Structures are given as C-alpha cells and as structure tokens.
Amino acid sequence: MIISSGRSYIFVHIPKTGGTSMALALEGRAMKDDILIGDTPKARKRRKRLAGAPGAGRLWKHSTLADIDGLVTPAQIAAAFTFTLVRNPWDRMVSYYHWLRDQDFDHPAVTLAKSRDFSGFLNDPQTAGAFRASPYGSYMRAADGQEYCDAYIRLEHLEEDCAPLWAHLGFRLEPGVTNRSRRPRDFRPFYSDRDAETLAAICHTDIARFGYAFRSAR
C-alpha cells in the first residue's frame, strides 16, 4: 500500500494481482512524505516511520482502506484518488497456488497448497472460504462501510485502465513484471470443466463485476 498526501492518492495492493510491479513503479517517483507500507526497497527503508502508528487493522502491504482508519482520516480517503489492480480470478487462483508452494513460512494455506494438487487446493473449503470472504471490492471499503475506488485497473488491460491514474498523477509510469512464476502463462489447462465452474461460483462477484471469463487467457 502507498498513501501519498503530496499527490493525493492511495494505492491498495490486493494479493496476487501484479501489485508489486505497480508499487515499485510508484515508489520510483515517491515523495519524501509518502507512506509506503510493504516490502519493496523504499518501503523497508521507511518502515520505522510506522512504529506505533495508529490503525484500525493490520498495517502491511495488503492493508484494506478500513485497516488504515486512524492512520489517515475518512476525509483524506474520500478526497484521495484511490485505486487498485484486479486480475482474472481463474488466473489469480493458479498464481496463488504456485506462489504458496514456493513459500516456507508457517501458514495453513501454505501447508494446504504443498499437500494437494491444484484441484484439491481449489476445492478445499479453506480456499473457497478465504476467496469468498475477500472479493476485490472489500479491499476498497473504508471503516465507514463505503467503497472508495476511482480506478479498478485490470491487470490484463493496463494501458486502457491506467488512463485515469496517469491523468491524476500528471505523468505515466511503466510497471514492469515482478515475481513472475515459472508456471505456464495460460491458466486454463490447470482446470477441469468442473473446477472452472467451481472457481466461477467462488468468485462470481468479481467475475460479473469486471467482465472476466474463463475462455479468455487475458
């Protein structure tokens, strides 16, 4: 997450949506008073600034707008240009699974991913429950219960969807590709027909809202 008072924006980093690349591009033009929350180079250097900082929830790179209540005021959130990245849920689930399998920290999702094939991971109630509980819009909901988002940027359509962000900033950025996994780019072969339908049911809110489809690899 990045909170920039100087440029009046808040970037919310939803997991496994390409947010690290965006965060790195933004911090390359960071102002001295920007609040950088995460594990990117500048965020690590500024981590001490967050010591003892107030916040309604956990202050980490995947904080929601509700989490930062107290760190910023409701008025600041309402006035800022708020944005985030989203990703085709079928692609995101495959990315999440493979990322978990490469991790070595103690977490139930890591244990599950390492002990199951992709279908078993997808169909486990733990996975379904986690994704159902956190649709994309939930990250952009502030403590007042209202959703604030000036731009939902689809990872598959960066050029088109970033236009409002570039207009707000007054300059363009060129987000690269960070944390690319070794898996094949096309997510569709990982799914049986039944598993594709399962994911559609789990993430139906995001699929309908952002126009995603399984048949498209983008």
- Token readout for 151 is 């731009």
- Token readout for 172 is 């363009």
- Give the closest residue to 96 by CA, choosing from 200, 214, 17: 17
DSSP β-ladder status, 151-154 and 81-86: parallel
CB 173 within 8 A of CB 26: yes
The three-point CA angle 188-162-209 to 5° equals 50
pLDDT in tens, 32-90: 999 999 999 999 999 888 988 889 999 999 999 999 999 999 999 999 999 999 999 99
CA neighbours closer than 13 Å in the CB half-sphere of residue 164: 13
pLDDT in the model for residue 204 = 97
DSSP β-ladder status, 2-4 and 151-154: unpaired
As a whole number of angstroms, the distance between CA 167 and CA 135 comes to: 27
pLDDT in tens, 143-195: 999 999 999 999 999 999 999 999 999 999 988 666 566 677 899 999 999 99
CB 122 within 8 A of CB 190: no
Contacts (Cβ under 8 Å, ≥6 apart) of 121: 97, 112, 113, 127
- Give the closest residue to 35 by CA, choosing from 63, 56, 10, 70: 10
pLDDT in the model for residue 87 = 97
- Give the closest residue to 47 by CA, choosing from 36, 33, 57: 36
Residue 218, class by beta-carbon neighbours within 10 Å (0-12 exposed, 13-18 middle, 19+ buried)? exposed
Per-residue confidence band for 208, with pLDDT thresholds at 50, 70 and 90: very high
